């Protein structure tokens, strides 16, 4: 089977919500190959603690590629303790210019409880508007739902959980088995 015919690993949904002094990153657990669900309980949201500095990261895309990026992010954070912004920019710069890293197919949402960023392979470090970021196949559904819920009485976790439930109802590559990590700023 040629590379362009391979069905590929599909979809996920990751959301980051900042509200009330807290940031929550939530991700679904579904891993799909083509039209088949391979696993329903994957952990795509992780807490990193390089040098005692807590960061929560969620990833969409190839798992191996995402783990490579998370390892690189941890190394950048160890080199620049407490500076998520600088570490994120350095990772994005490497990702865009390094021939090996350029082939990686993943995206990250990262937060230290103060800052919230989406990091892409195009060299982008994006700080989302409206205190909500979402990536993956169901990302646009979760983003729209969360933005609609931001003025509700729900806290950050409540907004993230409800938005993920809406995305799981719409996106066939997203399930309701969530991993949720909260961090305060």
Residue ranges for the binding site for Na(+)? 168, 171, 174
**How far is it, in rounded angstroms, from Cα 88 to Cα 123?**
10
**How far is it, in rounded angstroms, from Cα 153 to Cα 123?**
36
What is the radius of gyration, based on Cα positions, of the chain? 16
Pairing of strands 55-61, 31-33: unpaired
Task: Extract the runs of DSSP E, i.e. beta strands, from 52-163.
Answer: 55-61, 106-111, 116-119, 125-126, 132-136
**How far is it, in rounded angstroms, from Cα 109 to Cα 158?**
18
Residue of 12, 13, 80, 111 marked catalytic: 12
Which residues make up each annotated binding site?
168, 171, 174
12 is catalytic: yes
> Which residues are known to be catalytic?
12
């Amino acid at each position: 089977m040629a590379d362009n015919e391979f069905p590929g690993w599909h979809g996920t949904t990751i959301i980051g919500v900042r509200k009330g002094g807290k940031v929550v990153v939530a991700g679904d657990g579904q891993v799909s190959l083509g039209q088949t669900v391979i696993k329903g309980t994957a952990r795509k949201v992780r807490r990193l603690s390089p040098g005692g500095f807590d960061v929560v990261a969620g990833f969409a895309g190839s798992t191996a590629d995402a783990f490579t990026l998370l390892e690189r992010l941890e190394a950048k954070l160890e080199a620049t303790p407490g500076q998520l912004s600088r570490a994120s920019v350095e990772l994005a710069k490497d990702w865009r210019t390094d021939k090996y890293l350029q082939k990686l197919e993943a995206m990250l949402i990262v937060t230290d409880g103060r800052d919230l960023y989406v990091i892409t392979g195009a060299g982008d470090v994006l700080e989302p508007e409206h205190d909500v970021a979402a990536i993956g196949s169901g990302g646009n559904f979760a983003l729209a739902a969360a933005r609609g819920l931001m003025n509700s009485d729900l806290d950050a976790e409540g907004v993230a959980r409800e938005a993920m439930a809406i995305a799981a109802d719409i996106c066939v590559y997203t399930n309701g088995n969530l991993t949720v990590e909260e961090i305060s700023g």
